[in-house]
Amino acid sequence: MKRVSVCLFVGTVLVGALMTRVNAASPAVSQVVTFDPSLGQLPESIAIGKHGNMYVSFLLTGEIREIAPDGMQSTLAILGAGPTAPFPGRRLSGLAVDAPGNVYALLYDVPATRGVWRISRDGSASLLASIPSASGLNALAFDQRGRLFVSDPFKAAIYRVAPDGSVDVWVTDALLQGIVPSACGTPFPGGPLGANGIAFNNKGDMFVLNTTQGRVIRIPVLPDGSAAAPESFVGPTCNLVGLDGQAFDNLDNLYVAVNIQNKIVRIDPNGSMTTIAAAPADPLFFPSAIAFETGLGQRKEIFITNFAATGGTPGIATMDVGVPGRPLP
């Protein structure tokens, strides 16, 4: 991999501790990495591997940027065959990392390259699962058994990807459709996005964020791996319109990025919501994804991609939430 730059920090750099907040006087959220929007560096998703390496996807350019624990940045891979302009370019979206350190990425580019890509630690990339008929590919997540799932926000569907790359529709349901509540005012700028971020709680149930309904859906997973009937966990509510990425901590608190509202909300296991960070007090610019740090002593920190679609500086922000994140499967 070619090293391309050294990341920028706000405040004092702690070498070997990329994920540490700058100092006790910092705001709840600190911007720790910035990107250049003139180069198409709009960060859509983020994933952090067991060795502490951070991976960020740039929606327009198809680049997966790797940030090492010492802060050094490099290009892991560039995916896609389509144009990088105009917006939304190659549509590189969700990321995930497996136990050996392979990165999985969703590309909604031209049909020939559309699907789930697997990138090894040396940067070699291959199309694991082709999904040319998808209307949109947004987020992916592994369950406790290492099975891979993918959301399609325009088909109200969750796909399941087998190790051999075969794909089936695991579930589709009206709760996963993108419908803008009329009471919430201005329509979502990206259109009627439904099923977006996906994650699994300690019990093994899937949680899906519906962007334009402002709803969190729980899908119980049956013993044979099939999906039970989806059910509404929180919402619909205008307070959550713009739901995008999410992550669980060890106590099953769910942290969600509400992009167009520039805020981070924590939802406890009973469904009670608390806004824990919000602009303008915190540097949040269209937050799109969340991942917990994995390094020893740093597992209570979440990292947030600032997509900055509507202004501000694109980059990565961090905050200490006081509870360790769920371990990677």
User: What pLDDT, in 10s, does the model give residues 43-55?
Assistant: 999 999 998 999 9
Residue 18 pLDDT greater than 90, yes or no: no
What's the mean pLDDT when you consider all of the chain? 90
CA distance 329 to 321: 21
Q: What is the rounded average pLDDT of the residues 217-236?
A: 97
For residues 13-35, average pLDDT: 58
CATH code of the domain made up of 3-320:
2.120.10.30
pLDDT at 6 over 50: no
Q: How far apart are CA 167 and CA 131, in angstroms?
A: 8
Residue 322 tokens read as 């006081």
In 3-state terms, what secondary structure has residue 182?
A: helix
What's the pTM?
A: 0.91
Distance, in Å, from the CA atom of 181 to the CA atom of 39, rounded to the nearest integer, reads: 35
91: left (phi over 0), alpha (psi -120 to 50) or beta: left
pLDDT at 4 over 70: no
| C-alpha 25, offset from chain centre | 28
Confidence of residue 27 (pLDDT cuts 50, 70, 90): low
- Tokens of residue 42, six digits: 């709009």
